Amino acid sequence: MSQSTPGPQPALLYCHCQYAQVVSPEVKAAVLKKLCESNLPFEAVPDLCELSARRDPSLKRLASAGPVKIAACFPRALKWLFAAANAPLPLGATEVLNMRNQSANEVLASLFSAELRPNLPEGKVTLADAPVSSAAPTANQP
Amino acid sequence: MALLDLPLRVVLYEGSGAVSVDADSRLAAVNALLERGFAVTRAGSERPLAPADATPLLVVGRWQEEVPPTGEATAKIRWGSLDPTTVADQAEAARAEFSAPTPGAWRPWFPVIDYDRCTNCMQCLSFCLFGVYGVDDGKRIQVQNNDNCKTNCPACSRVCPEAAIMFPKYKAGPINGDVVSDSDLNREKMKIDISALLGGDVYSLLRDRSERARSRFGKERDSDKALAERQKCLTKLAALAGDIPPEVLMSLPSPEEISRKAAEAAAKAEAALAAQPPQTA
């Protein structure tokens, strides 16, 4: 398990998982409400899966911002969703809070904690050992 | 519209030159934008934000002056009002003006490969009849055609011996990205053994059942009765096949087409495997 790391304040990223009903609406609502009440800057995206599917360049922007805490779903899924868009997350500087199996209070406590606890699965740090995606982004865009 | 057109991003600006808004208004604005599929950045000075990129922006705020403090609109920036009741419509207008992609046009259901687990065995490529998988220049498996994937169908993840294929919007682990346990791996292997016992070709099994069901429907005169029967059969078939959606089963190509596609996929997989460097023990 990675150790918590002191350093610059992490950026905050929230995924609304807009196109599926797999995250509890109550958890999402509570997390987003507190984020909006916090006066902290944050990024909120409708659906990280959709961004990954179309290799959205904003994933590179989000992954290159330094330390980051992401309120979304499973760390393993997040690691490879970003990688699939050729935008690998920093392995030692990413903490994923899982709104699918953590309570809103647990997610919020970690999100607003001064500590960053990196929790992406260890393994191949970047895409160096994995194929760089040459896939076309989804064509189902108008 | 080009596929790589950049999506619009909306920035909620509450810094110098604009007044801060109350938390309820901020939440209402963010919610309205997310539900219409727009990414939102809430700007501030306390923590870093991801750096700017070439994404077209709509910057909304409650401006102290009539003109926003940072000046006129540029080619990639439009200014608006941080009004929760109109902010999503403003975003729609800016999106249209920039010809940015329309979000939410496709439900994002597609496989995501966990390369920490993948052994490049090509079973997924051999199995998928819809051309979702391919290989890169280095003969490594990759997802090449996301939008060929059948929504809600996790079948390829079930043939992966390493549980390396995820569908993040799937209901249960490890397919949804949850940690893979030893019991998960044993279960996956058991499924492959079961399919082998049943004839070694899951698609053949599904196709036969689907054909039998279709044949039965053809004999029905009453369309309502036929539909009811069809739904009953598909429900049963879906239960037998795991959680493969009935519409996927019914959209399987003809037996001849399946044979042709399966042969093509197998040949691609075999070629990719043959091109791999020999494994050292």
pLDDT score at B128: 81
Range of lowest pLDDT (A47-56, B84-93, B216-225, B266-275): B216-225
pLDDT score at B221: 43
Q: Cα(B165)–Cα(B154) distance, rounded to whole angstroms? A: 9
**Is the pLDDT assigned to residue A85 strictly greater than 70?**
yes
Yes or no: say if A73 and A98 are a contact pair by the CB < 8 Å rule: yes
Q: Cα(A114)–Cα(A83) distance, rounded to whole angstroms? A: 27
User: What is the mean pLDDT of the segment spanning B102-115?
Assistant: 89
Tell me: the pLDDT tens digits for A19-36?
Answer: 988 999 999 999 999 999
**Is the pLDDT assigned to residue B201 strictly greater than 60?**
no
Q: What is the mean pLDDT of chain A?
A: 87
Phi/psi at B267 (nearest 5 deg)? -65, -40
Q: What is the mean pLDDT of chain B?
A: 77
**Is the pLDDT assigned to residue B29 strictly greater than 70?**
yes
The structure tokens listed for B226 are 């036929």
Q: Which band of pLDDT confidence, cut at 50, 70 and 90, is reported for residue B267?
A: confident
Could you say which of A41, A132, A141 has the minimum Cβ distance to residue B105?
A141
| DSSP strand pairing (A94-98 vs A68-72) | parallel
Yes or no: say if B93 and B47 are a contact pair by the CB < 8 Å rule: no
B150 or B211, higher pLDDT: B150
Residue type, B62: R
Tell me: the pLDDT tens digits for B120-146?
Answer: 988 888 878 788 999 988 889 999 999
Q: Which band of pLDDT confidence, cut at 50, 70 and 90, is reported for residue B194?
A: very low
Residues of A in contact with B128 (CB under 8 A): none
pLDDT score at B1: 35
**Is the pLDDT assigned to residue A1 strictly greater than 70?**
no
Give the mutation candidate from A18, A38, A129 for the B interface (greatest B CB count, under 10 A): A18
pLDDT score at A27: 98
Yes or no: say if A134 and B144 are a contact pair by the CB < 8 Å rule: yes
pLDDT score at B166: 97
**Would you call A41 and B42 a contact, using CB atoms and an 8 Å cutoff?**
yes
Q: Cα(B46)–Cα(B63) distance, rounded to whole angstroms? A: 20
Yes or no: say if B115 and A80 are a contact pair by the CB < 8 Å rule: yes
The structure tokens listed for A120 are 């992406």
Could you say which of A56, A64, A74 has the minimum Cβ distance to residue B177?
A74
The structure tokens listed for B259 are 């044979």
B105 or B145, higher pLDDT: B145
Q: Cα(A5)–Cα(A91) distance, rounded to whole angstroms? A: 12
pLDDT score at B118: 94
Tell me: the pLDDT tens digits for B51-86?
Answer: 667 789 999 999 887 656 555 556 688 888 899 999
**Is the pLDDT assigned to residue B187 strictly greater than 80?**
no
Q: Cα(B216)–Cα(B6) distance, rounded to whole angstroms? A: 49
pLDDT score at A138: 59
Q: Cα(B195)–Cα(B189) distance, rounded to whole angstroms? A: 10
Distance, C-alpha A100 to centroid of its chain: 13
**Would you call A53 and B106 a contact, using CB atoms and an 8 Å cutoff?**
yes
Q: Where are the domains of chain B?
A: 9-98, 112-275
Yes or no: say if B17 and B24 are a contact pair by the CB < 8 Å rule: no
**Would you call B51 and A9 a contact, using CB atoms and an 8 Å cutoff?**
no
**Is the pLDDT assigned to residue B244 strictly greater than 80?**
no
Q: How far is A47 from chain B (nearest CA, A)?
A: 8
Could you say which of A80, A129, A131 has the minimum Cβ distance to residue B136?
A131
Could you say which of A11, A73, A129 has the minimum Cβ distance to residue B168?
A73
Q: Where are the domains of chain A?
A: 21-121
Residue in B162, B206, B205 with CA at minimum distance from that of residue B187: B162
Give the mutation candidate from B55, B60, B107 for the A interface (greatest A CB count, under 10 A): B107
**Is the pLDDT assigned to residue A132 strictly greater than 70?**
no
**Is the pLDDT assigned to residue B200 strictly greater than 50?**
no
A121 or B237, higher pLDDT: A121
